[in-house]
Amino acid sequence: MPTFKKSSRADYVLLIVIVVLVLFGILIISSVSTALSLKRFGNTYSFLVHQLVFGIFPGIISAFLFFKIPLSFLKKWALLFLLINLVLLVMVFMPKIGTSIGGAARWISLGKITFQPSEFLKLTFILYLAAWLASKAEKEKRTNLVAFLMVIILVSLLLYYQPDISTLGIIIITAALMYFLAKTPLWHSVFIVLAGTGGLLALIKLASYRFNRFLVLLKPETDPLGIGYQIKQALIAVGSGGIFGLGLGMSRQKFGFLPQTMSDSIFAIFSEEMGFVGSFVLIFLFLLFLWRGFEISRKAKDKFSQFLSLGITFWITIQAFIHIGSMIGIFPLTGSPLSFISYGGSHLIAEMAGIGILLNVSKNV
């Protein structure tokens, strides 16, 4: 068992940023969920309570635990954490354990508790990759590109068959950036980029709905009542917010016009209610988070802490900007949650655990 140490001063700027982001999430979910909660449960607060009980509170606990756990413990058991997560990814396909929603097998149900293993994979994979890269750097050994690709392929297969391509994309981009910044040979990174691009084109070709998402990205006016419906409604929501927004709770698009308003489309509702000013503040907070993450990594005392901080920072920031970009027509529509904001417990608990680790690193610099 790990031995807990007395804490020194952590990065309070980062902590304040996360607190504000989580509060934004609570506010916007309390607004966007009222109509659907009233329709399904006869009250206006069921989804908000669920988010608090199964997302916010467990997330705070996970952040505190990972803030206290010695980083050496995380490094030692990083491979085990990844293996356990991979087993859970296999379990989503098992009858009576795995749960499919909308044709996607991504969840495990344990009584009334349902969670998504792929959300935790983002963190466990970063932990493993940081430990692996650090061990190579500390022993002054060259990284093995084949070994790196084999792990990526294994993870890719498990996520492909769920399918959860948005999570796969975030993991691959994060892993590629970590690998490149570990001062590996440049041709390794070039090969990874080329292979990733080829894999993306293959995935687009294998599924017509992915091709349609790219088609809509290039021509947003395409089939406004069909494949172009969600992005059209999202852009209407963002545009309706104007400079200062319609006001908290005043969104019109949440009343059945825009799909997945609490999760995949939540930034559009946030922008509609908070306007350009609110959206600018939200984006600024993520940029501030990115800066603090880089600073923590730069000042970290060992390679493992450096790589781990970079990985967590990349993961959460990339995920946030992919979500935001997909709502304003910069990226294809994805199922990526908006970090700390979207409804759902699994992603929030994993993200808060990542924040606990970042603060853990910051107190040791």
**Can you state the angle between helices 12-32 and 34-41, rounded to 10 degrees?**
50
Q: What is the dihedral of CA 174, 177, 183, 189, to 10 degrees?
A: 110
Give mean pLDDT, residues 347-361.
97
Residues 6+ apart with CB under 8 A from 68: 4, 5, 7, 360
Q: Do residues 138 and 70 lie in contact, with contact meaning Cβ atoms separated by under 8 Å?
A: no
Extract the tokens encoding 95: 């009858």
Average pLDDT, whole number, for the chain? 90
Please give the Cα distance from 220 to 237 (Å, whole number). 15
Give mean pLDDT, residues 139-155.
86
pLDDT digits (tens, 9 = 90+) for 189-238: 999 989 988 888 788 777 767 777 777 777 766 666 777 788 889 999 99
Q: Do residues 310 and 293 lie in contact, with contact meaning Cβ atoms separated by under 8 Å?
A: yes
Provide the pLDDT for residue 257. 84
pLDDT digits (tens, 9 = 90+) for 15-69: 999 999 999 999 999 999 988 888 888 888 899 999 999 999 999 999 999 999 9
Question: What band does 4 get if pLDDT is binned at 50, 70 and 90?
Answer: very low
Residues in the chain: 365
Provide the pLDDT for residue 335. 80
Give mean pLDDT, residues 157-169.
89
pLDDT at 6 over 70: no
pTM: 0.93
Please give the Cα distance from 350 to 356 (Å, whole number). 10
Q: Return the amino acid letter for 363.
A: K
Please give the Cα distance from 355 to 225 (Å, whole number). 40
Give mean pLDDT, residues 85-110.
85
Extract the tokens encoding 336: 């990526």
Please give the Cα distance from 358 to 75 (Å, whole number). 14
Q: Do residues 98 and 105 lie in contact, with contact meaning Cβ atoms separated by under 8 Å?
A: yes
Q: Do residues 27 and 341 lie in contact, with contact meaning Cβ atoms separated by under 8 Å?
A: no
Q: For a pLDDT cut of 70, what percent of the chain falls above it?
A: 95
140 or 150, which is more confident:
150
pLDDT digits (tens, 9 = 90+) for 258-308: 888 898 899 999 999 999 999 999 999 999 999 999 999 999 989 999 999
Residues 6+ apart with CB under 8 A from 29: 47, 48, 51, 262, 266, 341, 343
Q: What is the dihedral of CA 210, 174, 336, 346, to 10 degrees?
A: 130
Please give the Cα distance from 5 to 8 (Å, whole number). 9
What DSSP character marks residue 315? H
Give mean pLDDT, residues 351-360.
97
Q: Containing H/E element for 145?
A: helix 145-160
Provide the pLDDT for residue 144. 83
**Can you state the angle between helices 57-68 and 345-362, rounded to 10 degrees?**
30
Separation of CA 139 from chain center: 32
